Structure formats: C-alpha cells, structure tokens
Amino acid sequence: MENSRLFKKIGAMKADVVARDGYRGLVAGRRVVFSGTRNWLLAESVRFAPRRMVTAVSRWVAEKVK
C-alpha cells in the first residue's frame, strides 16, 4: 500500500496518532473510533453515496502510482 495513491497523493495519518485515538476509545468503551475529521467524513459519506461510486473511488485510491 505504500505505493498507492492513498499514501503518495492523498496522505495518511501518523500511526502514533491513530493508535492513541484508538486506545483512548478502547478505554472509554467505544466500539468504533474515527481518528480525524477527514476519516469520519469519509466513513459517513459511504452511507449516502451509491455503492458503485464507493467501489470506484476505493479502487482508485488503492491503485499503485507509477
């Protein structure tokens, strides 16, 4: 995944920030934790977008950048 658009073009959150947010959620008893506003918006948008669009965008983001 290091060569995918997600990491090369869009950018990913730092692992330590995501781990800290996940740990805090675990301690607070939350079953689902979103780290960062952008990730929360993306997860919520899937509920409203057509499945075909979600699949196409997911595929595009995961493709390797040449």
> What is residue 32's DSSP assignment?
-
pLDDT digits (tens, 9 = 90+) for 3-46: 777 776 667 788 999 999 999 999 999 999 999 888 898 889 88
pLDDT digits (tens, 9 = 90+) for 46-66: 899 999 999 998 888 888 877
Q: Where are the beta strands (DSSP E) in the chain?
A: none
Q: Residue ranges of the domains in the chain?
A: 5-62
Res 21: pLDDT: 96
- Given a cut of 90, whether residue 2 has pLDDT beyond it is no
Separation CA 33–CA 40 (nearest Å): 9
Query: Which pTM does this prediction carry?
Result: 0.64
Res 49: pLDDT: 92
Res 9: pLDDT: 65
Separation CA 61–CA 29 (nearest Å): 31
